[in-house]
Structure formats: C-alpha cells, structure tokens
Amino acid sequence: MNTIRILSIIVLVGLWITNLNADIYTWTDKNGVKHFSNQPPANAGDATVIFREYQFDAAAHEKRVELEQQEWQTLIQDIEREEKRAQEEARRKAEEARKNQPPTRDELISSEKDRLEKKIAELEDKPLDYFGSFKNKRVRLGYYRYRLQTLMESPDDYFNHPEKFEGNIKYPDDANSTD
C-alpha cells in the first residue's frame, strides 16, 4: 500500500514538473493567426522557441546580489563624498564672504579700543628715558586716553575726525598741512 502511494506521488510530481515548462513557443496556424504558448503545438511544424527557460542558479543569484550591494554602497559613498565636498565648499565660500565683508561698527569699535588700550599699556611700561621727561610721558598717555574716551563716548566723532600724533605734537589731517 505504501509503495502505491509513493509511486503515485512520484507520477504526480513528474506530471507537475513537465507542466512547469517555461519555454515560450510561437507558431502560425493554417488561418494565418499567430499563437504564443508555453506548450508546443502537436501539429504545427513551424513552432519556434522565442524565450528559453533558465534554471535558477542560487550561487549566481547570490553573486549578483553581492555585486549590486557593492555597487549601491559605492554609489552611496560617492554621493556622501559629493555632499560633504559641496558642504565644505559652501562653508568655505561663506567663510570667505564673511572675511571679505567690512567689519561691523561694533567690531571696528572693539578693535580700535583694544589697539588704544594696548598702546596705553605699552607706553605706561616704557621707562621715563624713552619720553625724555615726565611731561612728555603724561602728554603722550593723555593723548591716547583722550582718544579712548572719545571712542567710547562718541564713536562717530572718533572715526569722522581722526587725529595723527607724532611725539608731543598733534598734526592735523594731511589735507590741512603744507609740505
């Protein structure tokens, strides 16, 4: 009894496998109608296979999948590199544009304040011999303190009326001096 069951299963599987034929045939019947089928006709002599069935190859499929994944990873890495390069370029351009901008009023005031304070500190550290007399030292320090006070109280006056100072003598703008 078991033998009959096994044989009947083998026969059914065999018939089922033959029906899974995936070759596609084409032929023209006697009326000129073109036919397509996965079964070749019994009486048509001009039947040709237009598509052949390919057996699934698991190893080849795995290799294809691996190659596709590698290609995707490479593509993603290329895109990420390009995005990073574009971001770096945009950052560099923004930094360059920021550097090329004129300083803001607050930056200009802060920079000039730092310069004057450094000059005052430098002059205070100099020995009296550098100035020649205490009066000269006091005049020079007084000039820079006065300019610092003007800068802090009225930055517009400070920047609109620049003064040159050489030694103990104030010089007006070059436009008013005669050479």
* pLDDT tens digits, 9-34: 665 555 555 445 577 888 887 888 88
pTM strictly above 0.75? no
pLDDT in tens, 140-161: 899 999 999 999 999 988 888 8
- Give Cβ neighbours of residue 23 (< 8 Å, ≥ 6 apart): 38, 40, 49, 51, 52, 53
Tokens of 62: 């795995």
User: Quick one: pLDDT at residue 29?
Assistant: 79
User: Quick one: pLDDT at residue 28?
Assistant: 82
- Cα 175 from Cα 160, distance rounded (Å): 14
